[in-house]
Chains A and B, each alone.
Chain A
Amino acid sequence: MRVRVVGAGPSGLYLAILLKKADPAHEITVLERNAPDATFGWGVVFSEETLGALRDADYPTHLEITDSFARWSAIDIRYQGQVLRSTGHTFSAIRRTHLLDILQRRARELGVALRFDTEVAAEESAEDVDLVVAADGANSALRRAGSFGTTSRPQGCKYVWFGTDLVFDAFTFIFEQTEFGLFQVHAYPFDEHTSTFIVETTEQTWRRAGLDTMSEQDSIAFCSELFASHLDGHRLMSNRSVWLDFPLVRNRSWHDGNVVLVGDAAHTAHFSIGSGTKLAMEDAIGLANGFVRHPGSVEQALVDYELERQPVVDRFQQAAGDSAAYFGRVRHYQSLAPIQFAFNLLTRSGRISHANLTQRDPQLIRVLDAWFTATATGQTALPGSVAPPPMFAPLRLGEKTVRNRIVRVGGPAGGAGLVLTGLVAVSAEGRTTEDCPVMDDSWAPHVAGVHAAGALAGLRLGHAGRRGAVRSSGVDVALRAGWPLVSASPLRYAPFGAVPAELTEQGMERVRAEFVTAARRAAAAGFDVLELDLADGYLLASFLSPLANRRTDVHGTDRLRFPLSVVDDVRAVWPGVLAARLTATDWARGGLGVAEGIEHARALAEHGVDLVHVRAGHSSGTSRPEYRRGYLTTLSDRIRNEAGVPTLVGGYLTTPDEVNTVVAAGRADLCLFEPPPTPLEAVP
């Protein structure tokens, strides 16, 4: 097979080595536009898992690479003048130029032709060889000449990649507050003399600091001064170190004819999870294996490569996206206690959880758990303390204490700290279905039952608005003989649904009175928590969403006005914990966005709401939800940390580990726990 590899980075060189090793008869040429000793970037990081793959794929290079590794097992988090060290991780890194040097030598030794200082024109491409490998990076020129369904967009913060002669002994995150805003550093050693030192900040802060107009020298001086206390007399070194946007590259197909993409040309993953080189070299292994499985067919081998690699890369891109987004909003976490800040940072991408860390760093988890329970009970954890996992810590809410962080809807408590009812309507007109209960004086026995099980009892109170008069819960199909509906505006919710009447001022007065009467009944029944439903497209939510509220009166310009008036009137008569289900985002074009959702949460808190139950979507029948495990967690995180209000979140949390991770990281205070049915529980 004749193979032309374009780009002599790690993926291109490694692929050349593996193909040549598999069959010395392959004619392989690697073309590189730069000189062999051109240096871009500093060090690159590997995980233990990748090293195993490298050992199996080519032992000689594995030996050389691991011989020159910097290795460490700690992550340091420098935050608010303190250093928190987490141990039990495994990292290794190598100087990028040294890695390339090893790979170049090995490739030459195996008989691969390496041509440097060679520009490759896209058109002189694919026909004279059997396979063309585009290993020419995130801005791949070769990719532009083909049809791969490429998208590339900036992701995360502004960043700049320096080196330093300070040798760190851990993967080090530094957070420094300035008059312009927060700056953070990702630093790690890669040989005995040098560390990578990446500085990152939001675009606003970057502009406020004037970095957008600074020269390279001034920018180094700025960063050197900013991090002087951490650099300890050492210097920052530039290597074409300019501020950049990280490009998120995706391709629908990784091959077009006999041209195949590998490494950054095929996909990028934000640097904050340190996976670029790892993924690139694993691509090379995956592609070489494709040819082992299908020696006779380039097409089959390329399909095989994509089938193997795309799902893996998808998962890394998801995690990298979560990590990049975390660093984009990390300024909002500056009020978290250091141990919680550290745990939040370590679990940012969803790849590490409370349970994983219990294995890796049991002391950190012990200290975290002890701190969490002590803080929850108004105490200070003494050295050596132990406590149950965070989901079992009590939570003080208003005058009440929830015994743990687990919330269930309906049914028996099953160990939960809070049991909420399903929707109870304030009036017959406000029901969803014919079976939907209307608030009355019959709830005391229910409350007594929940209390007997050791849990607090919560009532979810609402008015279905234009989602009323449907056949069954969640199914928006109108009853044949329903009842008149009301909403913020006369717009039907779902196809064939009834058109609601626009709620008049008189109607608002009536609904407010209904909420107040129902709240009094809830108090009389002994409920501990009253949860007002301002979500899911129901009546109060219809005022909040621009998709449902097209009013031209004062309620159109001030969409919070009516819902807040209900909250105020209820707060005046309700002595217990007041919660509100709230839509954080409509997940629909033209709908309510997260920034406004956070403002709404803040307004509710100012009006006496003690707990926000974070919901999303459903403001109209056409929202586009983003379902996955824990799909509401980030929204809850943002409301809790940006609006400064305690939150309850669901979003298909099915394991105790997810709950421990969410509450310990400060992403929510309470979790709706929804374990799937399992035959294990049928066994006596």
Chain B
Amino acid sequence: MSHVRVGIGLPNTIPGTPGALLVEWARRADTGPFSTVAVLDRLVYDSVDPFAALSAASAVTERVRLATNIAIGPLRSPAMLAKQALSVDALSDGRLTLGLGVGARRDDYAAAGVDRRTRGAVLSEQLAYLRGQLDESGVGPARPPVELLVGGASGAAFARVARYADGYAHGGGPPRAFGSAAARARAAWRDLERPGEPILWGQGYFALGDPDRGSAYLRDYYAFTGPFAEKIAAGNLTSARAVKDFVRGYEAQGCDELILYPTVADLDDLARLVEVLA
């Protein structure tokens, strides 16, 4: 069993989070035990753009990796996506991990004016662009290849992981669900005859100070999933024990990097998490 690295989410999708708090959060994360600072992506919501958030984070951090986990690829044109990602990578001196997926929200696609029905094919095309065509496009800054993760739960998503990415970004859930997704990612990797193993990323939510507020946020953030929002809220890690069990569980399932996302934008909650992980 290998050691799991733990990363921390920025509160960029928690409504009303002041910019200064977001930046301070990143600064403190860089001094903490975390390997990565990660962001979520949503268009039609009171949230900060993932690449803007990571740009800000890059200015106040030196050590941590910066990750989108995931950004909704098809909402952006391939060239624009590449521009944003390469910019963050350049600003942070190569610390970006670019996680991409198709997302699950209809309203984001509608607002972006993008046809949701072809999202899988569009994501494949973006990945192919990032992996190849980009070199010849003139879109810069010129960077060495960025670490690429792909999320999703369908067979096509796992094939995309193996065909284009360096690893898999799981969408959350209990360790056992992560384990079965990880097995599928490894199977896809072998199926496409990729050498080595995929990097496996997991994620979870926490609220150690004010669980009710945290769960209320999750219910709102995931309201578009209908009754599923309640299940996500029920999975919120609200005690030190729950966090520790979760980290251990993910480690046992072979997770390489586990991102814990805040559900309350309060620096005290970050401090509580640091204490739990110490």
* Nearest B residue (CB) for A147: B226
Q: Are B187 and A651 in contact (CB under 8 A)?
A: yes
Cβ proximity bits B149-161 to A, threshold 8 Å, 1 near / 0 not: 0000011101100
B residues in contact with A303, CB < 8 Å: 227, 230-231, 233-234
Q: Are B234 and A300 in contact (CB under 8 A)?
A: yes
Q: Any chain B CB within 8 A of the CB of A193?
A: no
* Nearest A residue (CB) for B234: A303
Q: Are B227 and A304 in contact (CB under 8 A)?
A: no
Q: Are B193 and A422 in contact (CB under 8 A)?
A: yes
B residues in contact with A242, CB < 8 Å: none
Q: Any chain B CB within 8 A of the CB of A384?
A: no
In this complex, how many residues of chain B approach chain A with their Cβ under 8 Å: the count is 44
Partner of B226, one of A253, A475, A651, A679: A253
B-side interface mostly:
helix
Q: Are B1 and A628 in contact (CB under 8 A)?
A: no
- Which residues of B173-202 have CB atoms within 8 Å of chain A's CB atoms? 174, 176-177, 180, 183-184, 186-188, 190-195, 197
Partner of A679, one of B1, B129, B133, B156: B1
Cβ proximity bits B116-134 to A, threshold 8 Å, 1 near / 0 not: 0000010011001101110
Of B154, B155, B180, B194, most buried by chain A (CB within 10 Å of CB) is B155
Q: Are A476 and B159 in contact (CB under 8 A)?
A: no
Q: Are A473 and B193 in contact (CB under 8 A)?
A: yes
A304→B194 CA distance, assembly (Å): 40
B residues in contact with A476, CB < 8 Å: 128, 163
A623→B191 CA distance, assembly (Å): 13
CB distance from A623 to the nearest CB of B (A): 7
A630→B162 CA distance, assembly (Å): 17
Q: Any chain A CB within 8 A of the CB of B221?
A: no
B residues in contact with A629, CB < 8 Å: 183, 187
A residues in contact with B230, CB < 8 Å: 299-300, 303
Q: Are B234 and A496 in contact (CB under 8 A)?
A: no
Q: Any chain B CB within 8 A of the CB of A494?
A: yes
A166→B133 CA distance, assembly (Å): 73
Q: Are A307 and B128 in contact (CB under 8 A)?
A: no
A660→B228 CA distance, assembly (Å): 40
Q: Are B121 and A679 in contact (CB under 8 A)?
A: no
- Which residues of B204-233 have CB atoms within 8 Å of chain A's CB atoms? 226-228, 230-231, 233
A residues in contact with B124, CB < 8 Å: 494-495, 621-622
Q: Are A627 and B231 in contact (CB under 8 A)?
A: no
Cβ proximity bits A600-643 to B, threshold 8 Å, 1 near / 0 not: 00000000000000000100011111111101000000000000
Q: Are A473 and B121 in contact (CB under 8 A)?
A: no
B residues in contact with A669, CB < 8 Å: none
B residues in contact with A307, CB < 8 Å: 231, 234-235
Partner of B191, one of A255, A478, A627: A627
Q: Are A587 and B132 in contact (CB under 8 A)?
A: no
Cβ proximity bits A370-383 to B, threshold 8 Å, 1 near / 0 not: 00000000000000
A-side interface mostly:
loop
A477→B194 CA distance, assembly (Å): 13
Q: Any chain B CB within 8 A of the CB of A474?
A: yes
CB distance from A398 to the nearest CB of B (A): 27
A135→B88 CA distance, assembly (Å): 55
Partner of A625, one of B121, B188, B226, B228: B188
Q: Any chain B CB within 8 A of the CB of A652?
A: yes
Q: Any chain B CB within 8 A of the CB of A568?
A: no
B residues in contact with A475, CB < 8 Å: 131, 163-164, 192, 194
A495→B184 CA distance, assembly (Å): 24
A residues in contact with B2, CB < 8 Å: 679
A residues in contact with B184, CB < 8 Å: 627-628
A residues in contact with B187, CB < 8 Å: 627-629, 631, 651-652
A237→B15 CA distance, assembly (Å): 66
Q: Any chain B CB within 8 A of the CB of A153?
A: no
Q: Any chain A CB within 8 A of the CB of B135?
A: yes
CB distance from A25 to the nearest CB of B (A): 26
A554→B124 CA distance, assembly (Å): 33
Q: Are B159 and A617 in contact (CB under 8 A)?
A: yes
Q: Any chain B CB within 8 A of the CB of A369?
A: no
Known: A306-B231, A652-B190. A477 touches B155 (CB 8 A): no
Q: Are B131 and A623 in contact (CB under 8 A)?
A: no
CB distance from A332 to the nearest CB of B (A): 26
Q: Are A256 and B183 in contact (CB under 8 A)?
A: no
A625→B161 CA distance, assembly (Å): 12
- A sample of 11 more A-B contacts (CB under 8 A), given A473-B193, A474-B162, is A474-B194, A494-B124, A496-B128, A496-B133, A617-B159, A623-B156, A624-B156, A625-B188, A627-B184, A674-B190, A676-B186
Which A residues are closer than 8 A to B by beta carbons? 253, 255-256, 299-300, 303-304, 306-307, 311, 422, 471, 473-478, 480, 494-497, 587, 617, 621-629, 631, 650-652, 674, 676-677, 679
Which B residues are closer than 8 A to A by beta carbons? 1-2, 121, 124-125, 128-129, 131-133, 135-136, 154-156, 158-159, 162-164, 174, 176-177, 180, 183-184, 186-188, 190-195, 197, 226-228, 230-231, 233-235
Q: Give me the 7 closest cross-chain CB pairs, A-B, nearest first.
A: A474-B192, A652-B187, A477-B132, A495-B128, A495-B125, A627-B184, A625-B155
Query: What are some 8 contacts across the A-B interface (CB < 8 A)?
Result: A253-B228, A300-B234, A303-B230, A303-B234, A311-B174, A477-B164, A622-B121, A679-B2
